[in-house]
Amino acid sequence: MSESGEYIIYVDESGDHDLSSINAQYPVFVLSFCIFHIPTYVGQIVPEIQRLKFKYFGHDMVILHETEIRKQEHPFQILRNKDVREEFMSDLSGIIGRSPFTIVASAIEKERYKAHAGTTENPYHVALEYGLERVFMFLQGVGQRGKVTHVVFEGRGKKEDDELELEFRRIMDRTHMNGMADTLRFLCVSKKSNSAGLQLADMTARPIGLKIIRPEQPNRAWDLIQQKIRTNASGNMHGFGLKVYP
């Protein structure tokens, strides 16, 4: 039996990977891989998320979704009250800011990708491979090579989930990165799983996409999470914690 690792990775996406009809307002697909040290995740991050939910909703069944929060849709209609919204966003931003985790993100600029590579290859699969490689590089750097580490995805439907798992296994089969296939394990869970890690990952993907599309536009969420993106020794995130293709 393989030794279990000390980290877990939660993955979420922003945008879609359809190349036949590209949304001009958001022509990018982003996969955000959030890497958590398990003892810190269990001891600090999960309790903070639970406290936030009990404070505002009186229970912890609420699932934090960036889209519903931004649009103030049920159950986040409480955010239509300006004072509540400001306090909630301050509390949520505080949790994200205090929580020690590392982000690896891969993004596909779809118009450029389509012009460069056509439509034969799924942008999701391209982003997945880039992300998994950089996640493994991080794990290798903290002594986790060969220790079983789960990469957790939110389910999108049986057909999509089966295709994703197949592509994950294909990447593990063809990789030239020694030790990656022995380290990373695929796990796909229901949207109703109420995982704190998946909910935090959901908060990170869209701000990254917006930064790529409109780099000069104020982006408070990006300001909060950019310090968590993996960098090299010189502090450069591009190609290390943020891969934009092509």
Q: What is the dihedral of CA 129, 131, 136, 138, to 10 degrees?
A: 160
Residue 238's SS3 state is strand
Helix, strand or coil, per DSSP, at residue 229: strand
The per-residue pLDDT for 116 is 87
Question: Which residue in this structure is represented by tokens 């959901």?
Answer: 202
Query: What dihedral angle (degrees, nearest 10) is formed by the CA atoms of 117, 119, 189, 193?
Result: 100
Q: For the segment 81-139, what is each residue's pLDDT rounded down to a tens digit?
A: 999 999 999 999 999 999 999 999 999 999 999 998 888 889 999 999 999 999 999 99
Q: What are phi and psi of 103, to 5 degrees?
A: -110, 135
CA distances, 143 to each of 48, 102, 183 (Å): 28, 15, 11
Per-run averaged pLDDT (10 residues), the chain, 246 residues:
92 93 95 98 98 98 96 97 98 97 97 89 94 98 98 95 97 97 97 94 97 96 96 96 96
Break the chain down into helix, strand, coil percent, rounded to 5: 50, 20, 30
**Strand ranges for the chain from DSSP E:** 7-14, 28-37, 101-109, 149-154, 184-189, 242-245
CB 202 within 8 A of CB 12: yes
Q: Which two tokens stand for residue 13?
A: 């996406």
Under a CB-based contact definition with an 8 Å cutoff, are residues 29 and 114 in contact?
A: no
How far apart CA 121 and CA 184 sit, in angstroms, is 23
Q: Are strands 149-154 and 242-245 parallel, antiparallel or unpaired?
A: unpaired
- Are 204 and 103 in contact, with CB atoms under 8 Å apart? yes
- On whether the CB atoms of residues 102 and 9 are closer than 8 A, the answer is no
For tokens 């290859």, what's the residue?
A: 121
The pLDDT value given to residue 113 = 94
User: What domains can you pick out in the chain, each with its CATH number?
Assistant: 7-245 (3.30.420.10)
Give CA–CA dist 223/208, Å, rounded: 10
Residue 36's SS3 state is: strand
